[in-house]
Structure 1
Amino acid sequence: MKFLSVEVLTMVATILGSNGIIYLIAKTMLTRWESKHPIVVHDERFDELDRRVTELRSQVDALRATQRILRAAVIELAYLRIADKHERYLHRGWATPNEKRVVQRIYDAYHSLGGNGTGSELNREVQTMPSYSPDELNSESNK
């Protein structure tokens, strides 16, 4: 008789287990136990910390937006400075070595901030200009 009851219990457990009923019973029992015996106790300090972190994140986002605006403004100002010097030296027909260095430094800042190829072309033209006025070159060759 004992043999028969073990077979019957094994068969019932197999049927219940295959349908997921044992899993559901165990899960229900664990959920009840956890609700009566919570592992984490609510602490208001965590709410304050979460509020402060959220506030700091919004401040960081605002600072990043301001930084993007300022970066775009600096790029534009550097480009305008390069374009102004380019036009002046192109009209004159030459640029001194020091003037070329200044344009190169402005261009380096412009490029490192993400300036595009328009400023690159202007800088290249300034760097390839003659370094002395035609009058200076003629007076040097006549000596």
Structure 2
Amino acid sequence: MTEGIGNLHSMKVLSIQYNHLTGSIPLPVFNISRIENIAFTGIIPQEIGNLVNLVALAMEKTQIISSVPISIFNISSLQMLLLSHNNLSGFLSREIGNSTKMQFLYLDENSFTGEIPKEISNLVEMEVLNLGFNSFSGSLDIRAENN
């Protein structure tokens, strides 16, 4: 994929997973602020946080081997994060609590460790939370309110 893809300033959806592409996504893609939905394979770069209108990131079963960049949890429009069935590792960042519009969070079947941050309770729009088949430890500190 060439750097020229960054010139597609009106693009809202980019779906290129399950291909035989080599290399990484050119960084100019992450400067297309209109992108609302993106799906690809490879490492999730820190620049993902530049996609300020991102609503959905779908990268399940794409053999990602890295950690989830903190910047992704600062995208206030993010509603759907589908990263299940990969090799993601590390801790789940406390910044996850910034994703207050999150409705669907699938992080199951990865290699996450550590405690589930209590800030996950800030995700008041959450409909589906799947953290199964990881190596999380400690207690689950989620406060539920009935409305």
TM-score (norm 2): 0.20
Larger strand proportion of the pair:
2
